């Protein structure tokens, strides 16, 4: 396991960067391009480990996928051209690959075995397996079919009307993708809208999909056709530098070409709520996704309460928001975020443990955390626990400490942001 000593001499961030492509959109582009007939070209693809797992999964089903840096070319004969993989499919660390792929495989006339790393093997798969079983899928696995490794015996599925009990775009997407392979209309009605990249991109590939408020209807058996996808910068990756600039004296940065899909921009709302000086300039829309530049300046943040419908819009940004809250005036409370317990780590526990080690006053609750502000953080020995977002939160925290921070197990950052340290060095070298 590799480690890094974080002891930056200059702690002011200035300049303009772009961040790598959006992880959610990159996964979907590979999946839908593989299900579509013809050629799909993906540009600004995120070559992070999670998205590479998605590429390998479809290559193992016979799809021609060629990647050169951040450009991916897919040639597929469509759903009917997919083959039964000879070997079990390795999902690595990726929850998104797991939940969406299980939805697709359930409707294909083959047998599949899926497994993942230690973290993914602890994450619940019954949340997707259960609605798929209602559609007729045969899915089994460890702990009564709840955990990986999982076996899917794909076949004929019937459409369903599904009201997810959990706020999860992965579950919504997995059911919609299974619905795509049925003969009728599948409806997913969410209580709170979650990220809608599946809906937007399926439309671009020619699916028959209809969205009204928080209800999505997909009519199955519609042929998808390959298309070109340009992936916007990932706002979840940008969030680390937006917060870093907000809390380090003299900083002023712009992140260009960031995805501004409204289901993902909760971090901008939180930064505004917390009094951070931030400016957003939307520039254009590509494939139903809006893109723009975000400028942030060093600010004196103030505490807030974060709860309710905003949570799915910031779910992956909460670790770095917790760090921001340690620098705010007052006490910040985060509620309704029990889903954090089912990520790469239990992110309530890992954020609380890590920030406490660095001197924060932070308490975990069943569905969130309470964070005292105006805290002087100090150095220490930390670990990512194999969770990329915890690793990046620690790196940003080290900009606030006089002493060095040791970060053990830093390589997991490549799961979503392989060039994170290069971009950080660039911003502090200006």
Ligand X SMILES: C=C(OP(=O)(O)O)C(=O)O
| Partner in contact with 389, chosen from ligand X, ligand S3P, none, beta carbon below 5 to 8 Å by kind | ligand X
Nearest approach, Cβ of residue 72 and ligand S3P (Å): 17
The nearer residue to ligand X, 342 or 426, going by C-beta atoms, is 342
**Given 22, 316, 387, 410, which residue is catalytic?**
316
| Partner in contact with 339, chosen from ligand S3P, ligand X, none, beta carbon below 5 to 8 Å by kind | ligand S3P
Is residue 238 close enough to count as binding ligand S3P by CB under 6 A?
Answer: no
Is residue 291 close enough to count as binding ligand S3P by CB under 6 A?
Answer: no
The site string for ligand S3P over 334-373 (x = CB under 6 A, - otherwise) reads -----x----------------------------------
Q: Are 84 and 111 spatial neighbours (Cβ–Cβ below 8 Å)?
A: yes
| Partner in contact with 357, chosen from ligand X, ligand S3P, none, beta carbon below 5 to 8 Å by kind | none
- 397-426 positions binding ligand X, by CB under 6 A: 416
Helix (H) or strand (E) holding 147: strand 147-153
The site string for ligand S3P over 165-204 (x = CB under 6 A, - otherwise) reads ---xxx--x---------------------x---------
| Partner in contact with 94, chosen from ligand X, ligand S3P, none, beta carbon below 5 to 8 Å by kind | ligand X
Distance CA 427, CA 8 (A): 12
Hey, how many other C-beta atoms are within 10 angstroms of the C-beta on 117?
Answer: 18
Binding residue (CB under 6 A) for ligand S3P from 4, 12, 17, 24: 24
| Partner in contact with 24, chosen from ligand S3P, ligand X, none, beta carbon below 5 to 8 Å by kind | ligand S3P
Phi then psi for residue 342, to 5 deg, are: -115, 20
- 22-61 positions binding ligand X, by CB under 6 A: 23, 50
Binding residue (CB under 6 A) for ligand X from 34, 94, 173, 194: 94
Is residue 198 close enough to count as binding ligand X by CB under 6 A?
Answer: no
Helix (H, G, I), strand (E, B) or coil at 131: helix
Distance CA 109, CA 154 (A): 5
> Nearest-5° angle of CA 24, CA 339, CA 209?
45
Nearest approach, Cβ of residue 103 and ligand X (Å): 14
Is residue 316 close enough to count as binding ligand X by CB under 6 A?
Answer: yes
Helix (H) or strand (E) holding 365: strand 362-365
Distance CA 393, CA 395 (A): 5
Helix (H) or strand (E) holding 56: helix 49-59
The nearer residue to ligand S3P, 339 or 406, going by C-beta atoms, is 339
Distance CA 362, CA 318 (A): 13
The nearer residue to ligand S3P, 340 or 405, going by C-beta atoms, is 340
Report residue 45 as tokens.
């693809």
Residue with the two structure tokens 């209809």: 210
* Whether 316 is catalytic: yes
| Partner in contact with 344, chosen from ligand S3P, ligand X, none, beta carbon below 5 to 8 Å by kind | ligand X
Is residue 326 close enough to count as binding ligand X by CB under 6 A?
Answer: no
Report how far Cα 41 is from the mean position of its chain's Cα atoms.
21
Is residue 357 close enough to count as binding ligand X by CB under 6 A?
Answer: no
The nearer residue to ligand S3P, 98 or 324, going by C-beta atoms, is 98
Buried b (16+ CB within 10 A) or exposed e, 242-259: bbbbbbbeebebbbbbbb
Piece of 102-110, 164-172, 280-288, 366-374 that binds ligand S3P (CB under 6 A): 164-172
DSSP character string of 264-308 = TTHHHHHHHHTT-EEEEEEEEEETTEEEEEEEEE----B--EE-G
Is residue 167 close enough to count as binding ligand X by CB under 6 A?
Answer: no
Is residue 35 close enough to count as binding ligand S3P by CB under 6 A?
Answer: no
Annotated binding-site ranges: 23-24, 28, 95, 123, 168, 170, 316, 343, 347, 389
Phi then psi for residue 324, to 5 deg, are: -55, -40
Residue with the two structure tokens 């520039």: 283
**Cα separations in angstroms, 280 against 54, 171, 255, 309, 318:** 32, 30, 10, 22, 20
List of residues 6+ apart from 290 with CB closer than 8 A:
259, 260, 261, 282, 284
The site string for ligand X over 264-303 (x = CB under 6 A, - otherwise) reads ----------------------------------------
Is residue 137 close enough to count as binding ligand S3P by CB under 6 A?
Answer: no
Residue with the two structure tokens 């602890």: 122
| Partner in contact with 253, chosen from ligand S3P, ligand X, none, beta carbon below 5 to 8 Å by kind | none
List residues binding ligand S3P (CB under 6 A). Answer: 24, 95-96, 168-170, 173, 195, 315-316, 339
Contacts with ligand X by CB under 6 A lie at 23, 50, 94-96, 316, 343-344, 389, 416
Active centre residues (catalytic): 316
């Amino acid at each position: 396991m590799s480690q890094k000593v974080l002891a930056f001499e200059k702690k002011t961030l200035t300049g303009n960067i772009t961040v790598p492509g959006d992880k959610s959109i990159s996964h979907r582009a590979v999946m839908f391009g593989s299900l579509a007939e013809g050629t799909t070209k993906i540009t600004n693809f995120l070559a992070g480990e999670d998205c590479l797992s998605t590429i390998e999964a479809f290559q193992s089903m016979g799809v021609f996928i060629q990647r050169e840096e951040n450009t991916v070319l897919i040639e597929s004969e469509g759903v009917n051209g997919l083959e039964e993989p000879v070997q079990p499919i390795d999902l690595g660390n990726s929850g998104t690959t797991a939940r969406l792929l299980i939805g697709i495989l359930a409707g294909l006339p083959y047998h599949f075995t899926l497994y993942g790393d230690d973290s993914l093997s602890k994450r619940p798969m019954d949340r997707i397996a259960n609605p798929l079983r209602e559609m007729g899928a045969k899915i089994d696995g460890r702990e009564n079919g709840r955990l990986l490794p999982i076996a899917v015996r794909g076949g004929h599925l019937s459409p369903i009307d599904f009201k997810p009990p959990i706020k999860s775009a992965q579950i919504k997407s997995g059911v919609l993708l299974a619905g795509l392979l049925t003969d009728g209309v599948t409806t997913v009605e969410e209580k709170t809208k979650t990220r809608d990249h599946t809906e937007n991109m399926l439309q671009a590939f020619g699916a028959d999909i209809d969205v009204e408020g928080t209800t999505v209807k997909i009519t199955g058996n519609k042929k998808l056709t390959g298309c070109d996808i340009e992936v916007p910068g990932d706002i979840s990756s940008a969030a680390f530098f937006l917060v870093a600039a907000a809390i380090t004296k003299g900083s002023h940065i712009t992140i260009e070409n960031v995805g501004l899909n409204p289901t993902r921009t909760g971090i901008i709302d939180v930064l505004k709520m917390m009094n951070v000086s931030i400016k957003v300039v939307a520039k254009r829309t590509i494939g139903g996704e809006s893109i723009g530049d975000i400028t942030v300046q060093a600010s004196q943040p103030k505490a807030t309460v974060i709860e309710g419908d905003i949570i799915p819009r910031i779910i992956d940004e909460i670790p770095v928001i917790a760090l921001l809250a340690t620098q705010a005036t007052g006490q910040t409370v985060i509620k309704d975020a029990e889903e954090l317990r089912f990520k790469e780590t239990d992110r309530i526990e890992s954020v609380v443990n890590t920030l406490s080690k660095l001197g924060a006053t932070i308490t975990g609750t069943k569905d969130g955390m309470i964070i005292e502000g105006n805290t002087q953080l100090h150095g220490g020995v930390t670990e990512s626990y194999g969770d990329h977002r915890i690793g990046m939160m620690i790196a940003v925290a080290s900009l606030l400490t006089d002493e060095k921070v040791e970060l053990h197990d830093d390589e997991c950052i490549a799961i979503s942001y392989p060039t994170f340290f290069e971009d950080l060095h660039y911003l502090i070298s200006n």
